[in-house]
Structure 1
Amino acid sequence: MNRLSSLACVSVLALVAACGSGSAEAPPPAPPPVAAQPAATADAGASDTADDADIAAYGKKYVDLVVELWPEAATSLGLHARDAELNDRSREGIDRAVAKQRAMLDELMQRFSSKPHASRSAFTDLVILEHALTVDIKRTEALRPHETRPDFYTEPLNAIFYVMARDFAPGPERARSALERIEKLPQQVQSAKANLKNPSRIATQIGIESAEGAKTFLDEQAALILKELPGEKARINTAVRAAKDAYAGYVTWLKKDLLPRSNGQFASGKALFEFLTHEDYFLNENSDEIHAMGKRLFDETQQKLTETARRIDPQAKKWSDVVARVKGHHPTMADLLPSYRREVARARKFLVDKDVVPFPAGDELEVVETPTFKRNTTQAAYDIPPPFDPPGAKGFFYVTPAEASWPKKRQEEWLRENDHGDQVDTAVHEAYPGHHLQLSFARLHPSIIRKVTGPSIFSEGWGLYSEELMAELGYYTDEERLMQLVWTLVRAARVIIDVGLHTRGMTYEEAVKILTDEVHLERPLAQNEVKRYTESPTQPLSYLIGRERIFAMRERMRARDGARFSLKAFHSEVLTRGTVAPGLLEREIFGD
């Protein structure tokens, strides 16, 4: 969850050995944790709950299906029964998974063909589960990632990383699971060559970049595994060599065979796009209305940028000129991670002092380097602690360093994108009161359905809401506010570009041009942004549209509560209910 990578987050502990302990500065004492008891609040006065147990049972059945079909996702959730297995990405495996999902959806719809006798929170769970199955089936059948996304076959590297990243089991046990997964990687590459048909040229380029990172990643994992299994050196070397050879061959095949014939379209099309906004995000607006909202907020943010820039330099002709100077205030390569750690600790202390958000028990966060195979699409990101891991499991905030092998010009460009103001904003969005705080609460919710789902319109909407909340609370200097507004402008541009790419015929270069010419991002960063947008229809718009929905919910609660309203009470209300689309969350809170 971040500025550049997709919603599916990756654990990031494999590089800790290379970058030190990775610990953030010691946080100040937290206020007493708020107990996560959403059901009691939501169901005040509810009496007809006869179907609650059946709904919960279907949640358990869905979790069992996840473990069966997607062991990689299961590991990331903290379900470790199949940690040595990888997803079946063969055509037969994909078809089998869709068939099993459809069978469960049919059974669910038949069981609850009439209005369920359920508490408000259980009814929300039922709606979440029905829509999760419906949306996932539609995504697989319409987007066909196994046929159109070459990087679909580097995703197993995440699963290896998940196993080694967290101390959920003894080191040797986790290392054996990771080794068995490495031994299965060549089969994944074979599935790729059999399945991939006519991806877009951009998708194949993304796949090449991702697969090129496999060698370094596997070497790093081999060292970690060997440390835990010193008697398995020969087996480790054989497995890693075979996996590296497979991905090296994959890169060659992608470049020489698939790339020349990659003439497919990345656009999802209007019908699928609006299906996703309605069924996954519970939005009523159509794509044109969403586009208009993005354009309005883009223009409003431009005006705020101009006003803030003039406070910094009354003589400046354009806000972008002030931003260019502010970007020169950046850390050295050596201080990049330590400076992020300082900003994470500062944001948390500010919130403790202001007492406007609750804090969960066992709050812990580390800042570490991004794994090599994710660096081509990631600047800074947050990785949620697995929801089924013990309550005290820590979160990881990861940062992509400037590489010593890069030319000096590229190093400077990257550091300028990690200037002080950007770091302040990123720490707020990813850590406090953003993703880390929100998702640390979400994983405490008792509903297993909510543990395995979570639309980005709330999680990313909350991250952007957090940025604006800190502005309301007076956290930023003018320079820091300027950079925070730049990223608000990026999120507004995302709405325009997301709708444009997938429903209006916008090209990749046209999208990059918006980010370079109107938002004034450096071209490499703009290119990474748009690469992601092409593969994730509706996710880019989730930040700003989600923020607007959360603000609207806050105003509704203010109107309801009058003089009794408090920010902390509102934040406690929404944070303790899990990651639920605001439109659906509002129904649960207000009893719509």
Structure 2
Amino acid sequence: MDEFLSWYFTNNPILANHLGADGYDHTLGDFSAAALIAVEDEERRWITRLSELEPPTLDDAIDRDLVLSQLRGSVAMAQWPAWRRDPAFYVSLVFTSLNAPFQQKLKPEHELVAAAVSRLAEVPGVLADCRANLDPTIAAPLLIQRGLGQARTGRRFLTSTLPSLVDDPDLRAKLAAAAEPAADAFDQLVTFLDGFECGGTWRMGEQLYTVLLRERELLGYGAADLHAKGEHEWAALDTRMREVAKRVDGTEDWRAAMESLMDDHPPTLEAMRAEYEAETQRAREFVRERDLVTFPDGEKCKVLPSAEYTRPILAVAHYLAPPPLSSSRTGIFYVPYTPDDFTDEQVRQRLRTNSRAQMPSIAVHEAYPGHHWHLSHIAESRRTVRKVFRTPYFTEGWALYVEKMLHEQGYFDTPATELAHLDCRIFRAARIVVDTALHCGDMTIEQAETFMATRASLSPGTAQGEVNRYCAWPTQAPSYLTGAIEIDRIRESYSGTLKSFHDRLAGSGGLPLGLAEKALP
């Protein structure tokens, strides 16, 4: 397994550095077609080699099966390769490789700048590979436009935002100078993508979708069954929300009740960030007072504005975990700021979808005892592979599971926050329905946007951003509620205390749900 991880890190240096592995911070890696094809071939050889192993212990077997699930998913995706279809494959990795180290601050500033300068020198080559590798016969216009929106943030991010993260004026000037050729390369990519004509589809198709559910997530069902589960869950939640809505405004119309609650929101983006910070601290204190989990030593969750380069493509809160192969236990809860070119009305709609009634659920999900607690806890594990590989079907499932668990504990203690909690859950049921329908060809983008705006409490603009994300990232959106349901099922058969269940299951990693139960002592 150590040999495999060495190979994996060598071929994924951005991820290796992101995880906190030493020695991978000065390069972006090889993004040429020949190199990417060679990696796909090696993945197939690793599947054969690992499948022949006889693990001596249960934990070793779980580690082996975790890696195999990831490799089989990657090999399956080779028939639908992101590196030929989607410019975000390159652009997102470049941005993350440069931004995350300055946010995490694991090394002295002069070392961070030296590593960034080295990587900036490779950016023109990576973006040249992007232009060479995109295949107009399979790339979809929607994905090209999505990548174009990201690429347009490149110059400002590299020449202004990134240097502003450096305190020393000489180092700041050095970084800004090194950023200019990279910014020029982003300008060239913008021009290229703006004129790029293609005729591919963003729809994955039911067959590949089902393969990923069965072989990567180790679930016992495919896309059609998952779609049916989403419809069932939506209907059950709709019934519950009608009952709660009566306590909010006296009617069963929970959508109207949520619309009213969404009018109570922070007045500005910065005020939204400040209120999220306060809610995050309240959630932490609540979890500690009730002794629901064991807190890792030194953990800390910062609450910051989302990075500029994510704003065109992410309309919701998200989280950056502490590097699990490092000693850091500091994570970042990113509040969903809008792009600079948004109108006042678009900003208002973003604030409405982060209303004061909704903030408790979102803070629990992103921070305590959701993503931040879970991923800080994983970092304490002695099983290295489980700190490297995780699936959103566990991590997102965990974060939604703890929303429900904290509701059971009394955290959402008003009709307004209870309804908003259920709205967060029905939103995830709607995601299952829409994501499966979109990629199996049963729903158009317009129908999906209408569904999300009427079956969940999303503004039209936020619904549009959500559906755009589903088109680009198939199978991810259903992970939240699918995982939460499976974790609830595992909890029902566990005989220990609630705290021990949380510590043990979450401490096992972010395993495919078919493996998670095996790891619970």
Q: Normalising by structure 1, what TM-score?
A: 0.84
Deviations 1:174-219 (CA, angstroms, capped at 9, x unpaired) = 1111111112111122111111113112101111111111122112
- 1:64 — aligned with what? 6
- 2:499 — aligned with what? 568
- 2:19 — aligned with what? 77
How many Å apart are 1:462 and its aligned residue? 0.4
Deviations 1:465-497 (CA, angstroms, capped at 9, x unpaired) = 011111111111211111121121110011111
Match for 1:500 among 432, 437, 453? Answer: 437
Match for 2:170 among 222, 230, 235? Answer: 230
1:38-437 alignment to 2 at 5 Å? 58=1, 60-110=2-52, 112=53, 116=54, 118-139=56-77, 141-155=78-92, 156-198=94-136, 199-224=139-164, 227-228=167-168, 230=170, 233=173, 236-256=175-195, 258=196, 261-314=197-250, 316=251, 318-333=253-268, 334-378=270-314, 379-390=316-327, 392-402=328-338, 406-437=342-373
Q: Is the 8 A contact 1:172 1:229 kept in 2?
A: no
Gaps of 5+ in 2: none
Aligned partner letter, 2:510: T
What SS is found at the alignment partner of 1:81? coil
How many Å apart are 1:237 and its aligned residue? 4.4
- In structure 2, C-alpha distance between the alignment counterparts of 1:296 and 1:417, rounded to whole Å: 25
How many Å apart are 1:124 and its aligned residue? 0.7
- 1:32 — aligned with what? none
2:389 matched to 1:450?
Answer: no
Aligned partner letter, 1:453: F
Aligned partner letter, 2:285: K
Q: Is the 8 A contact 1:442 1:577 kept in 2?
A: yes
Q: 1:278 to 1:152 in 2, by over 3 A?
A: same
Q: Is the 8 A contact 2:311 2:338 kept in 1?
A: no
Q: 1:397 to 1:403 in 2, by over 3 A?
A: same
Q: 1:106 to 1:493 in 2, by over 3 A?
A: same
Greater displacement, 365-374 / 354-363: 354-363
- 1:475 — aligned with what? 411
Aligned partner letter, 2:193: L
2:516 matched to 1:581?
Answer: no
Aligned partner letter, 2:122: K
Q: 1:62 to 1:313 in 2, by over 3 A?
A: same
How many Å apart are 1:545 and its aligned residue? 0.8
Deviations 1:10-30 (CA, angstroms, capped at 9, x unpaired) = xxxxxxxxxxxxxxxxxxxxx
What SS is found at the alignment partner of 2:279? helix
What SS is found at the alignment partner of 1:142? coil
How many Å apart are 1:504 and its aligned residue? 3.5
What SS is found at the alignment partner of 1:368? strand
Aligned partner letter, 1:173: E
Instruction: Among all aligned residue pairs of Structure 1 and Structure 2, give the percentage whose two residues are the same amino acid.
Output: 27
Q: Is the 8 A contact 1:382 1:430 kept in 2?
A: yes
Q: Normalising by structure 2, what TM-score?
A: 0.95
Aligned partner letter, 2:183: K
- 1:41 — aligned with what? none
RMSD: 1.8
Aligned partner letter, 1:319: W
What SS is found at the alignment partner of 1:415? helix
What SS is found at the alignment partner of 1:377? coil
Query: What is the number of equivalent residue pairs in this alignment?
Result: 515
Q: Is the 8 A contact 2:86 2:147 kept in 1?
A: yes
Match for 1:519 among 451, 456, 465? Answer: 456
Q: Is the 8 A contact 2:237 2:426 kept in 1?
A: yes
Q: 1:179 to 1:117 in 2, by over 3 A?
A: closer
What SS is found at the alignment partner of 1:395? strand
Q: 1:545 to 1:231 in 2, by over 3 A?
A: closer
What SS is found at the alignment partner of 2:476? coil
- In structure 2, C-alpha distance between the alignment counterparts of 1:308 and 1:255, rounded to whole Å: 48
Q: Is the 8 A contact 1:461 1:542 kept in 2?
A: yes
- In structure 2, C-alpha distance between the alignment counterparts of 1:479 and 1:389, rounded to whole Å: 40
How many Å apart are 1:228 and its aligned residue? 4.2
What SS is found at the alignment partner of 1:143? coil
- In structure 1, C-alpha distance between the alignment counterparts of 2:291 and 2:384, rounded to whole Å: 30
